[in-house]
Chains A and B, each alone.
Chain A
Amino acid sequence: QVTLRESGPALVKPTQTLTLTCTFSGFSLSTSGMCVTWIRQSPGKALEWLARIDWDDDKYYSTFLKTRLTISKDTSKNQVVLTMTNMDPVDTATYYCARIPNYYYNYMDVWGKGTTVTVSS
């Protein structure tokens, strides 16, 4: 059974750096074609793609946020970490990680439940 779980602080202050961890089970990020991606959703808004890391360690970032985002993986721990610098209240959102089992088709077949992050002083 494939599962993903997001973890991180529920509250961060403006200008701080957010670090989120996606811990997964049921698959290996070493498998050819496998990817893990991060998505967020501000209250009442649409889904917004943030970043993706591939089995071969290729990394892709949202054009709008790429200067603030870093994604990395620890294959031995089955974890993917996303950091976002210089947090602002507009970054208040639920952050999801999801699995992409086939990088070519790019569909996200299993999602975590999400973790809610509030940016406030």
Chain B
Amino acid sequence: SSELTQDPAVSVALGQTVRITCQGDSLRSFYASWYQQKPGQAPILVFYGINNRPSGIPDRFSGSSSGNTASLTLTGAQAEDEADYYCHSRDSSGNHLVFGGGTKLTVL
């Protein structure tokens, strides 16, 4: 079982804003990172740390964290943003890594 919990599915209307959340006790101590995965493709990093977006990732992707919850916010969702999104961090021991169960984002 995953130590990071995500909603299995979220939907958003085209052009609207959606927040994908990730909960876990380890997030009180360690940063989260977020990955987008489209069918048949490897995941790509879309956000990490306090406020870091990799080069080439649109600025409509942003992240935040509070307490035991990390969030990925998509402001102005586009059709191409439809994908699975995974959060990732360390586990409570700090020595191992863990992924959330993933959130399937549907853009309506």
B and A form one assembly: yes
Would B96 and A111 count as touching, CB distance under 8 A?
no
**Which residues of B (12-60) have their CB < 8 Å from a CB of A?**
30-31, 33, 35, 37, 42-45, 48-49, 52, 54
**Does A96 sit within 8 A of B, measured CB to CB?**
yes
The number of inter-chain residue pairs (CB within 8 angstroms) is 64
**Which residues of B (63-95) have their CB < 8 Å from a CB of A?**
86, 88-91, 95
B48 interface neighbour in A62, A105, A111, Cβ under 8 Å: A105
29 contacts between A and B (CB under 8 A): A37-B97, A47-B35, A47-B43, A47-B86, A49-B96, A49-B99, A63-B96, A96-B42, A96-B43, A105-B31, A105-B48, A105-B49, A106-B30, A106-B31, A106-B88, A106-B89, A106-B90, A106-B97, A107-B45, A107-B48, A107-B52, A107-B88, A108-B35, A108-B45, A108-B88, A110-B45, A111-B42, A111-B44, A112-B42
Taking Cβ atoms with an 8 Å cutoff, the residues of B that contact A are: 2, 30-31, 33, 35, 37, 42-45, 48-49, 52, 54, 86, 88-91, 95-102
